[in-house]
């Protein structure tokens, strides 16, 4: 199986020994504590599950700036996006060597991790803007990822952590949420060697389904992991439980048995386009995938990135930085001429009118009105789940 990123073995920070866990929970009650942002809590979940191997905790300011500018830590570890714990006010933890980190996304704010504090540093406005521009490619406050990052505090609290639980994900998404450790174990149990990962924050329409099928066939893959984001999204995105139902129905009806694994991970969407695509590749390598599908406008939002910027960034990554490979996909759509889904670059004789195109706005309007999109766009069983959702929301 493919090795984890930057290590010979996964480094999940979740404490699984029951005796140790109980001791840490007891210790946490006596420690100074800080309430995390949702972004920092999501980072703790990814660190806990082994997705952010080989990191041992939150980055300090020097590493964050180095990652933003050069895509590697001060010590040279390739990494595309700073993994930070930012706060507005650190008065309650000043001078503490060890602190409890509290989960903002669970009632009562239970302790999600214990941290050995390396440093508490002040990030200047100029440094914050630099990180923002390098990671998101813009300072526009209308960009949802920029808005979230800029709204976080300027105190950088860094250090190694021990993760006590994985927030709400395991309970709320039982059977879908999986750690990198669990996905590796599942891949091994299935006997897969060549494994394609497909990232999604949306329900999968017919073109997405066919893209997974194309990648599997062309790479002679043993299987595909459809890996959906389960954390915070922007307003208007489809809730995770609805996406999960859509994807599972599609896999059940239209893929052979033991060819697709449906799973999810606990992270908040960054909408960082190219940089987030590279982060997706890093943690898909950690979960055991040998290939990641990177399509048109991967992890993008609005018009902030070019349609294939998320593919082009991989051309600038140093040789040997990652072992995972990229399957570069074009925009896929139903061809009226060929009566099937095609990648548009592979149909040079086609004109726009030769495809079935539907805008996202048009699809939402149809679903909200109880009208199923055409079968060239969406499987009817998937469309029904979405129609039920939109009509319940009306």
277-297: pLDDT as tens digits: 999 999 999 999 999 999 989
Write down the pLDDT at residue 368. 84
pLDDT tens readout for residues 321-361: 999 999 999 989 999 999 999 999 999 999 999 999 877 77
Query: What does the pLDDT average to over 196-203?
Result: 92
Write down the pLDDT at residue 1. 92
**Top-tier CATH class for 18-170:** alpha beta
pTM score, two decimals? 0.94
Write down the pLDDT at residue 239. 85
Rounded CA separation 34/103 (Å): 9
Write down the pLDDT at residue 307. 93
218 is catalytic: no
Beta-bridge partner residues of 120: 157
Phi-psi region of 363 (alpha: psi -120 to 50; beta: other; left: phi over 0): alpha
**Burial per residue of 76-111, b for 16 or more beta-carbon CB atoms within 10 angstroms, e otherwise:** ebbbbbbbbbbbeebeebeebebbbbbbebeeeeeb
Confidence of residue 179 (pLDDT cuts 50, 70, 90): very high
Provide the H-helix boundaries in 137-273.
Answer: 144-151, 169-172, 180-190, 206-219, 240-254
Write down the pLDDT at residue 255. 96
Point out the catalytic residue in the list 98, 154, 190, 201: 201
If you ran DSSP here, which 8-state letter would residue 315 be given? G
Confidence of residue 364 (pLDDT cuts 50, 70, 90): confident
For residue 138, pLDDT over 90 is answered with: yes
Angle, vertex CA 186, rays to CA 184 and CA 187, nearest 5: 65
Q: Confirm whether 18-170 and 175-393 share one CATH topology.
A: no
Q: Which range is least confidently modeled, 161-165, 191-195, 378-382?
A: 378-382
Confidence of residue 393 (pLDDT cuts 50, 70, 90): confident
Write down the pLDDT at residue 21. 97
Helix (H) or strand (E) holding 274, with range, is helix 274-286
For residue 234, pLDDT over 80 is answered with: no
- Picking from 192, 242, 197, 213, the residue whose alpha carbon sits closest to that of residue 364 is 242
For residue 202, pLDDT over 90 is answered with: no
Write down the pLDDT at residue 182. 98
Point out the catalytic residue in the list 98, 154, 190, 202: 202
Q: Are the CB atoms for 159 and 58 separated by under 8 Å?
A: yes
- Grouping H, G, I as helix, E, B as strand and the rest as coil, residue 147 is helix
Residue 323's CB: how many other CB atoms inside 10 A?
12
Burial class (CB in 10 A: 0-12, 13-18, 19+), 59: buried
Q: Where are the domains of the chain?
A: 18-170, 175-393
Write down the pLDDT at residue 103. 98
Write down the pLDDT at residue 369. 87
For residue 316, pLDDT over 90 is answered with: yes
| Superfamily holding 175-393 | HUPs (3.40.50.620)
Q: How much is the mean pLDDT over the chain?
A: 95
Residues whose CB is less than 8 angstroms from the CB of residue 82 and which lie 6 or more positions away in sequence, other chains included: 59, 63, 64, 67, 68, 131, 135
243 is catalytic: no
Write down the pLDDT at residue 201. 85
Query: What does the pLDDT average to over 130-147?
Result: 97
Write down the pLDDT at residue 203. 85
For residue 118, pLDDT over 80 is answered with: yes
pLDDT tens readout for residues 48-99: 999 999 999 999 999 999 999 999 999 999 999 999 999 999 999 999 999 9
């Amino acid at each position: 199986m493919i090795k984890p990123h930057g290590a010979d073995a996964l480094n999940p920070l979740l404490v699984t020994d029951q005796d140790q866990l109980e001791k840490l929970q007891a210790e946490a009650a006596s420690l100074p504590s800080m309430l995390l942002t949702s972004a920092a809590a999501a980072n703790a979940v990814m660190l806990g599950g082994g997705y952010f191997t080989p990191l041992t905790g939150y980055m300090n300011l020097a590493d964050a700036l180095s990652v933003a500018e050069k895509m590697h830590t001060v010590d040279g570890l390739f990494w595309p996006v700073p993994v930070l714990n930012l706060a507005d006010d650190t008065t309650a933890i000043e001078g503490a060597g060890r602190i409890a980190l509290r989960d903002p996304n669970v009632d009562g704010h239970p302790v999600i991790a214990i941290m050995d504090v390396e440093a508490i540093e002040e990030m200047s406005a100029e440094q914050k803007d630099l990180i923002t521009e390098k990671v998101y490619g813009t300072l526009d406050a209308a960009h949802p990822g920029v808005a979230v990052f800029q709204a976080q505090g300027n105190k950088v609290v860094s250090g190694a952590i021990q993760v006590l639980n994985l927030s709400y994900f395991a309970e709320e998404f039982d059977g879908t949420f999986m750690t990198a450790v669990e996905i590796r174990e599942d891949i091994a149990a299935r006997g897969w060697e060549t494994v394609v990962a497909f990232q999604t924050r949306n329900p999968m329409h017919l073109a997405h389904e066919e893209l997974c099928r194309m990648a599997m066939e062309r790479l002679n893959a043993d299987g595909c992991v459809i890996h959906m984001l389960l954390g915070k999204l922007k307003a208007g995105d489809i809730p995770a439980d609805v996406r999960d139902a859509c994807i599972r129905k599609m896999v059940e009806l239209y893929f052979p048995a033991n060819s697709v694994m449906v799973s999810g991970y606990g992270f908040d969407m960054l909408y960082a386009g190219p940089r987030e695509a590279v982060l997706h590749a890093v943690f898909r390598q950690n979960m055991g995938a040998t290939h990641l599908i990177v399509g048109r406008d991967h992890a993008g939002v609005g018009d902030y990135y070019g349609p294939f910027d998320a593919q082009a960034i991989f051309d600038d990554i140093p040789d040997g930085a990652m072992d995972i490979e990229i399957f570069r996909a074009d925009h896929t759509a139903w061809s009226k001429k060929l009566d099937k889904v095609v990648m548009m670059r592979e149909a040079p004789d086609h004109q726009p009118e030769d495809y079935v195109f539907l805008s996202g706005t048009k699809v939402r309007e149809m679903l909200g009105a109880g009208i199923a999109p055409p079968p060239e766009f969406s499987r009817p069983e998937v469309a029904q789940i979405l129609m039920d959702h939109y009509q319940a929301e009306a």
